[in-house]
Amino acid sequence: MKLYPCLVAASIAVSGSTAIHAQSLPSYMAPIAGKTAATAADIATKDMLALNTGMFELYGDAAKIFQGNILSKHPVILGLFSGAGGRMILYRPGMAPMDAPQVPVVYQLLKSVGHSTMALAEVVGPYVDNSDDKSWRGSMLAYRSRMQSALDGLDATPMEPGWRDNNRTILQNNIAFMDECVAKGVIPFATLEAFGKKQAPYLAKNVAWAAQTQVAHWMTVLASWKTQLGADWDKTYAASNTIYVARQNNVLFSVLAQFFGPEAINSRLLLIETVSFTTTPADMLESLTRIIADRSVGALFFGNYHLMDYELMGGDARAAIVAETGKRGMTPFLPPVVPFGSKQWPTLVTPGPGPASIADLK
């Protein structure tokens, strides 16, 4: 190979300049400067993984357009959990979102009294039968003051007389229990157990009345919205959020199901699991948009509109689990195969023996 003197000289000059530059970095660069190295495999792996990272960015941009398209064609109802008995929002094409009226405040009053009783068990639980530890007394006395204030104002609350009497009994029993513990300077388990059994029937009434109040309210709201939407009801989407403890018999989802019917479950009526009791409307709309948009992608690639409602690798992973357990002499333990687009309730549905409600515990 022929070397041209001018190119050789230029090459030497450039490399020499680079070496001089590397050697003459200012002192403040010393802590972070250094020679880096990456193998071809490292670079190739990073570049390939970047495709998946980039997918989420592209998806986020597209989702904004998808959401606008969905809301311009379909009414959407969001049912969000809240300590006030839930929140429902109706989105209609071309109109501002409409918040439903709140559940009557008596719902919150019933829950507050019930929760106050159960909170006592949480306060004293770590100190049962421990006469040497009195660190619970401060919290107990502070909560007793609040309990007394609630009892003193009970007659002024918007509550039916029979319900008020039940809550008076609960609050009085709470105060008596706290006074007994403070007087003894210890929390005997026998005392705590007797307190729990004594309060249970009164608490059960509060639970039932709160449920009746909540359900009657939301049934009335949805009946009105269904009338307003008319024929558009058949293209309306709805979603409710839930955490694990509220999956079974989820109140908002169950009420929505009465108006949407069995055929809409998991199709236009969705239960979206979250990790917290409360979820923002924006997050709910984002989840709903993603579910609907993914369906079109599943139909495009695999010819099934509901395929991507499910973990995409789930079916193959199932087969892999069967194969791997077989290799290990194990019997695979898996749920029944459910077809894409199943209309079953998205909660526990397998019947069996044992209590399934507070009433069943009697």
Domain assignment present for residue 46? The answer is no
Strand partners, 88: 79
Residue 50 belongs to some domain of the structure: no
| Cβ atoms 59, 287 nearer than 8 A | no
Considering the domain architecture, whether residues 318 and 241 belong to the same structural domain is answered as yes
DSSP string, 58-115: HHHHHHHHHHHHHHHHS-EEEEE--TTS-EEEEE-TTS--EEPPPPPTHHHHHHHHHH
Judgement on whether residues 176 and 264 belong to the same structural domain of the protein: no
Same domain, 204 and 276: no
332 found inside a domain: yes
Q: Is the domain of 95 the same as that of 111?
A: no
Question: Residue 156: its pLDDT value, please?
Answer: 97
Q: What is the mean pLDDT of residues 91-106?
A: 97
Running DSSP on this structure, what letter comes out for residue 336?
Answer: P
CA-closest candidate to residue 185, choices 141, 237, 242, 235: 141
My answer on whether 82 and 138 are in the same domain is no
Quick one: 130 and 278 in the same domain? no
Distance CA 298, CA 291 (A): 11
CA distance 171 to 187: 19
Whole-number pLDDT of residue 19? 47
Which residues are CB-contacts of 177 (< 8 A; sequence separation ≥ 6)?
120, 191, 195
Confidence of residue 347 (pLDDT cuts 50, 70, 90): confident
Helix (H/G/I), strand (E/B), else coil: 170: helix
Section 78-99 average pLDDT: 96
- Give the whole-angstrom CA distance, residue 359 versus residue 362: 6
Residue 9 confidence (pLDDT) above 80? no
Query: For residues 261 and 264, what is the distance between their CA atoms, to the nearest angstrom?
Result: 6
Check: CB of residue 277 under 8 Å from CB of residue 245. no
Please tell me whether residues 77 and 156 are part of one structural domain: no
pLDDT at 12 over 80: no
Q: Stretch 165-176: mean pLDDT, rounded?
A: 98
On whether residue 48 sits in a domain, the answer given is: no
Q: Which domain holds residue 340?
A: 72-102+236-345
In tens, the pLDDT along 107-135 reads 999 999 999 999 998 888 888 988 888 88
Percentage with pLDDT > 70 across the chain? 94
**Residue whose C-alpha is closest to residue 239's, from 324, 160, 346:** 346
Total domains in the fold of the chain: 2
Q: Are residues 196 and 338 in the same domain?
A: no
Per DSSP, the residues of 60-75 read HHHHHHHHHHHHHHS-
pLDDT tens, position by position, 235-285: 999 999 998 888 888 999 999 999 999 999 999 999 999 888 889 999 999
Q: 297 lies in a domain? A: yes
Q: 192, 210, 228: which is the final residue of a domain?
A: 210
Taken in order 161, 162, 164, 168, the sign of the CA dihedral is positive
